[in-house]
Amino acid sequence: MHIHRIAAFTSEGLGGNPAGVVLADRLPPAEEMQRAAAQVGYSETVFSCPNGDGSWLTRYYSPEAEVAFCGHATIALGAVLGQAFGPATYPLTLANNRIEVAAEKRDGEWMSVLRSPPTRSAIARPELLSEALEIFRYSANELDPTLAPCVAHGGLDHLVIPLHSRAALARMDYDLDEGRRFMQTHGIGTVAFVFSESDRRFQARNAFAIGGVLEDPATGAAAAAFAGMLRDLGRVKEGEIVIMQGVDMGQPCRIEVAFTAELGSPVNVRGKASVIG
């Protein structure tokens, strides 16, 4: 098994979120994929093989469990498919969805664009929000009064909590075991905290305890969900947003999301990718 190590969503050639990528003639057994992901140790390793219908059968594993969808690993997969087979759009058959990733080379760097599953969002229940604030040591007066916390979906459910200041975002902290229990209990893929620098530029931090990772430096699935949430709330109805993530970890990542005004429609998540090492 050859494992490509790729940094996804790099920013000006720096940072990025590492992902393992395995291309195979057929997918290994689930226990073998899980063992390989644990050995790699990145937040996600993606496994993909030809599906016989023109698509690529694709599965994602964190060090601790299979995950239905992962954005940054899909961006990394796009770059590896592009390197192996050339610039193109590659349909992907996931465990619960069909999506696609396009790969092209720009100025010597691979750029991938994933088309997400359909999006949806709903205002977070008060008791869910209250529990999250306690775990992450925030008070209600640190929330952004202009943007409601939501459970947003773009392949996975994410609890998105907007904060009113960059300083509040910078001090995000929590106990990993508490966070894991919370996410498992409520079926949440990540808890995403966001700060609005402007109407179309955001800073974000994403807790990924359910995958055994305290924080993910770039989360394409959450970015897709967040874009759908902004559209549902009427905050940004269409166009493009930029999300900067991983800055507080010393791994700056740039995620670009483009979307139409059609509520619930898939969004396009774009990012650069580079080989690690």
Q: Examine the pLDDT at 22 and tell me if it is beyond 90.
A: yes
pLDDT attached to residue 260:
98
Categorise residue 41: left if φ over 0, alpha if ψ from -120 to 50, beta otherwise. Answer: left
pLDDT attached to residue 108:
86
Quote the percentage of the chain above a pLDDT of 90: 92
**E strand or H helix at 94, and its extent?**
none
Model confidence pTM above 0.85: yes
Instruction: Quick: pLDDT tens for 212-238.
Output: 889 999 999 999 999 999 999 999 999
What is the distance between the alpha carbons of residues 216 and 191, in angstroms, rounded to a whole number?
Answer: 10
Quote the percentage of the chain above a pLDDT of 70: 100
**E strand or H helix at 213, and its extent?**
strand 213-216
pLDDT attached to residue 119:
97
Q: Examine the pLDDT at 68 and tell me if it is beyond 80.
A: yes
| CA proximity to 183, closest of 226, 132, 224, 138 | 132
Q: Examine the pLDDT at 99 and tell me if it is beyond 90.
A: yes
CB 219 within 8 A of CB 206: yes
CA 66 to chain centre: 15
What is the distance between the alpha carbons of residues 58 and 77, in angstroms, rounded to a whole number?
Answer: 10
pLDDT attached to residue 198:
96
The encoded tokens of residue 73 equal: 């690993």
pLDDT attached to residue 13:
86
pLDDT attached to residue 32:
98
Q: What is the mean pLDDT of residues 182-211?
A: 96
What dihedral do alpha carbons 128, 66, 155, 157 form, nearest 10°?
0
> pLDDT-based confidence at 87, cuts 50/70/90?
very high
pLDDT attached to residue 248:
96
CB 175 within 8 A of CB 183: no
Residues 6+ apart with CB under 8 A from 224: 71, 114, 116, 117, 119, 154, 155, 257, 266, 267, 269
What is the distance between the alpha carbons of residues 99 and 80, in angstroms, rounded to a whole number?
Answer: 17
Pairing verdict, β 109-115 and 98-106 = antiparallel
CB 11 within 8 A of CB 254: yes
pLDDT attached to residue 139:
97
What is the distance between the alpha carbons of residues 180 and 188, in angstroms, rounded to a whole number?
Answer: 9
Q: Examine the pLDDT at 277 and tell me if it is beyond 80.
A: no
Instruction: Quick: pLDDT tens for 71-85.
Output: 999 999 999 999 999
Q: What is the mean pLDDT of residues 160-180?
A: 97
pLDDT attached to residue 155:
87
More confident call, 1 vs 46: 46
Q: What is the mean pLDDT of residues 22-50?
A: 96
